[in-house]
Chain A
Amino acid sequence: MRKILLSLLVLAVPAAAAAQSAEDIAGARIGYYRLLGHEMSLLAAMAKGDVEYNAEKAAAAAKDLQTLTQYSVSDLFAPGTSNAELPGKTRALPVIWEDMAGLGDKGAAYVSAVEELNGVAGNGLDALRPAVGKLGGTCKSCHDDFRAKDF
């Protein structure tokens, strides 16, 4: 029994180390942004009229985005995880680590657009549309400066 436990421990050590690899951090970061994309896809489909507006669902998606703003992203931007260090694995540009303040400004604009959206998402399509447009603009604005177009 002890032998089995020990060998499990031996197996677990490299696994634990691997969980902190730069590639895994980049993967987690991509996962975080995919969640934003997931919520945005429903909101944008409603704003464009591809999906029928539903106050409850719109408010829920907006709320999820708000919840995600509570997540502290700083550890997702650990040093050594840019696309210069991990080519093909991430699109995070090295300029992020030279200009954390700039990234923070884009993040702040994004958070305030999420707040604005949460104020109106349940109030009908006419209220939702401009708020989704504005929020999408803050996604673009950060991607323009801090994300490569392709892997």
Chain B
Amino acid sequence: MSMVSETGRGRAIPQPSIAAEGVPVWDPVVRVLHWALVIAFAAAWGLGKFGPDQMTLHFWAGYAVAAIVVIRVIWGFVGSQTARFTSFVKGPRKVFGYAREMTSRRPSKTLGHNPMGALFIVGVLIVLAMQILSGLLADPEDYINVGPLAQYVSSDVARQALALHEPLSTLLLAMVAVHILSIVFYRLYKKEDLVTPMFTGRKKID
């Protein structure tokens, strides 16, 4: 099963160009959403923790993250082959199999997300959704930074949402740290550059 022939774009690419520029791995939607997520997440996090007490900008950054997550999930069902959850979410056998190869100092040459990366992606999308939901429901009782859905739930729930929002943000920060450290690990230890394809959409394989 070759990813190249299934990305759609791949079919149109003549062989010599593949050798020179690499094969297509990430469609433009995946790439734009990823870097938009990086910016919106950093903005939401920074504004939440260090931003002004009137949190309008934090709310907008949060809504941006929400829009990105929703579009990415839809794209995970209807997007290009490597973007689809069905193409990269694997069972425990595949995940453990891949984990055993992690320590070998060779590039994985995966065209698409590898089975362990898939765990992060599904996990981070779920925790992001929880973060957004907790923000939407939170009522900090300052009457200016009230989540727009807090009025539809009891004050107990609105308080519990408030209490979850900060621990979730810390969890997300830790997950992102592991994500970035993994990418550094691939670059330095496994000699595989994952970042360039996230910009260009193409991966060089020798």
Which residues on A are within 8 Å of B, measured CB to CB?
A: 37, 40-41, 43-44, 47, 132-134, 136-141, 143, 148-151
Contact = CB atoms under 8 A, between A and B. Distances in A.
Contact of A136 (B54, B159, B162, B163): B54
B144 A150 contact: no
B160 A136 contact: no
Contacts of B162: 149-150
Contacts of B143: 37, 40-41, 43-44, 132, 136, 139
A149 B163 CA distance: 5
Contacts of A151: 159
Nearest to B165: A149
Interface residues of B, number: 16
B6 interface: no
B159 A150 contact: yes
Q: Is the contact region of chain A dominated by helix, strand, or loop, or is it mixed?
A: helix
A148 B140 CA distance: 10
Interface of B: 52-55, 140-145, 159-160, 162-163, 165-166
Given A150-B159, A151-B159, A37 B54 contact: no
Given A140-B145, A143-B140, A143-B142, A134 B54 contact: yes
The 9 closest A-B pairs by CB, nearest first: A136-B144, A137-B53, A44-B143, A150-B163, A149-B163, A139-B142, A140-B142, A40-B143, A136-B142
Contacts of A150: 159-160, 162-163
Contacts of B140: 140, 143, 149
Nearest to A45: B143
Contacts of A136: 53-54, 142-145
Contacts of B53: 136-138, 140-141
Contacts of B163: 148-150
21 contacts: A40-B143, A41-B143, A44-B143, A44-B144, A136-B54, A136-B142, A137-B52, A137-B54, A137-B144, A138-B53, A140-B140, A140-B144, A140-B145, A141-B53, A143-B141, A143-B142, A148-B163, A149-B159, A149-B162, A149-B165, A149-B166
